[in-house]
Structure 1
Amino acid sequence: MTQTTSTEFARLSAEINDLLCVLNLLTWDARTQMPPGGSATRGQQMATISSLARERTLDPAFERAAQADSDNPAAAQALEAIAALRRVPDTLTRDLATLKSQAQDVWTRAKAASDFAAFAPMLTRMVDLNRQLADALGYQDHPYDALLNLYEPGLTGQALTPLFAQLRAHHVALLERITAKSAPRTDFLRRHYPAQEQKAFSLAAAVRFGYDVTRGRLDESAHPFEISFTRQDVRITTRFQEQFLSGALFGTLHETGHALYEQGVDPALTRTLLASDLTGLYAVGGASYGTHESQSRLWENRIGRSRAYWEQHYASLQAAFPEQLGDISLDAFHRAVNEVRPSLIRVEADELTYDLHIMLRVELERALIGGELDVADLPAAWNARVKADLGLDVPDDAHGVLQDIHWSSGLFGSFPTYTVGNIMASQFYDAALAGLPELEAQLARGEYAPLRGWLTEHVYRHGRTYTPHELLMRATGRGLDPQPYLDYLTGKFTALYELDAQEATA
Structure 2
Amino acid sequence: MSDYSQQYDELCQEIGEAAKLDSIQQLLEWDERTIMPPKAGAYRAEQVSLLAGLIHERRTSPRVGELLDSLADSPLAADPHSDQGATIRVLAREYRRDSKLPQALVVELSKAKVLAQQNWVQARSSNNFPLFRPHLDNILRLMREMADTIGHAGSRYDALLDYFEPEAKTSEVAAALSALKDDLAPLVAEIAQTGRHPKMEILQRDYPIAAQEEFGKRVAKDIGFDFDAGRLDVTHHPFCCGMGPFDCRITTRYDQNFFPSAFYSTLHESGHGLYDQGLRADQYGLPSGSYVSLGLHESQSRLWENMVGRSYPFWRHYFPELKKTFPALGETPMSDFHYAVNDVQPSLIRVEADEATYNLHIIIRFELEQALLSGDLPVADLPGAWNEKYQQMLGVVPDDDADGCLQDVHWSAGLIGYFPTYSLGNMYAAQLFDQAAIELGDLAEMFGRGEFIPLLNWLRDKVHRPGSCYTAPQLMHNICGESIDHRPLLRYLRTKYAPLYGIGH
Q: Are residues 1:270 and 2:272 paired? A: no
- The 5 Å alignment of 1:392-411 reads 392-411=396-415
Report sequence identity in percent: 39
Deviation at 1:177, TM superposition (A): 1.3
Q: Find out whether 1:496 has 2:488 as its counterpart.
A: no
Secondary structure of the residue that 2:314 maps to in structure 1? helix
Q: 1:243 offset after TM fit, Å?
A: 1.7
What corresponds to 2:292 in structure 1? 287
State the shift of 1:487 in Å: 1.0
Q: Does 1:349 align with 2:339?
A: no
CA distance in 2, matches of 1:270, 1:142: 33
Q: For 2:260, which of 233, 246, 270 is the aligned residue?
A: 246
Residue by residue over 1:346-373, the C-alpha shift from the partner in whole angstroms, topping out at 9 and shown as x without a partner, is 0000000000000000000000001110
* Correspondence for 2:467: 463
Residue 320 of structure 1 is matched in structure 2 by: 325
Please give the per-residue CA displacement for 1:350-399, whole angstroms capped at 9, x wherever unaligned: 00000000000000000000111000000000011111111112101111
Q: Are 2:430 and 1:426 aligned?
A: yes
The residue number in structure 2 matching 1:215 is 229
Q: Which amino acid in the other structure matches residue 271 of structure 2?
A: G
Whether the 8 Å contact between 1:108 and 1:222 is mirrored in structure 2 is yes
Cα distance between partner residues in 1 of 2:62 and 2:177: 43
Report the counterpart of residue 198 of structure 1 in structure 2: 212
- The answer to whether the Cα contact below 8 Å between 1:231 and 1:264 also exists between their aligned partners in 2 is no
Partner of 2:165: 152
Q: Is the 8 A contact 2:57 2:103 kept in 1?
A: no
Q: CA deviation at 1:273?
A: 4.2
> Could you list the runs of 5+ residues in structure 2 that have no partner in the other structure?
78-83
In the other structure, the counterpart of 1:228 is 242
- The amino acid of 1:240's aligned partner reads Y
TM-score, normalised on structure 2? 0.94
- The residue type paired with residue 121 of structure 1 is P
Task: Please state whether the residue corresponding to 2:36 is helix, strand or coil.
Answer: coil
CA distance in structure 1 between the aligned counterparts of 2:380 and 2:68, rounded to whole angstroms: 45
Q: Give SS of 1:456's match.
A: helix
Which residue of structure 1 aligns with residue 197 of structure 2? 183
User: Structure 1 length normalisation: TM-score?
Assistant: 0.94
Kept in 1, the 8 Å contact 2:281–2:289? The answer is no
2:26 maps to amino acid: N
Offset, 1:406: 0.1
Name the stretch that deviates more: 211-220 or 467-476: 467-476
Give the count of matched residue pairs: 490
Bigger mean CA deviation after superposition, 134-143 or 27-36: 134-143
Q: CA deviation at 1:69?
A: 4.2
- Cross-structure match for 1:47: 49
Distance in 1 between residues matched to 2:212 and 2:129, nearest whole Å: 31
Secondary structure, counterpart of 2:346 in structure 1: coil
In the alignment, structure 1 residue 363 sits paired with structure 2 residue 376: no
Contact 1:9 1:69 in 2 (8 A): no
The aligned runs of 1:81-230 (5 Å cut-off) are 81-181=94-194, 182-230=196-244
8 Å contact kept, 2:473–2:484: yes
2:60 partner amino acid: L
Report the Cα distance in structure 2 between the residues aligned to 1:140 and 1:455, rounded to whole angstroms.
36
Q: How do 1:6-17 residues align onto structure 2 when only pairs under 5 Å count?
A: 6-17=8-19
Q: Which runs of 4+ in 1 moved over 6 A?
A: none
Q: 1: CA distance between counterparts of 2:69 and 2:329?
A: 61
1:327 deviation in Å?
2.7
Q: Higher mean Cα deviation, 345-354 or 381-390?
A: 381-390
CA RMSD of aligned residues (A): 1.5
Q: Is the 2:287–2:469 Cα contact (8 Å) retained in structure 1?
A: no
Shift of 1:7: 1.9
Q: Which deviates more from structure 2 when the two are superposed, residues 156-165 or residues 412-421?
A: 156-165
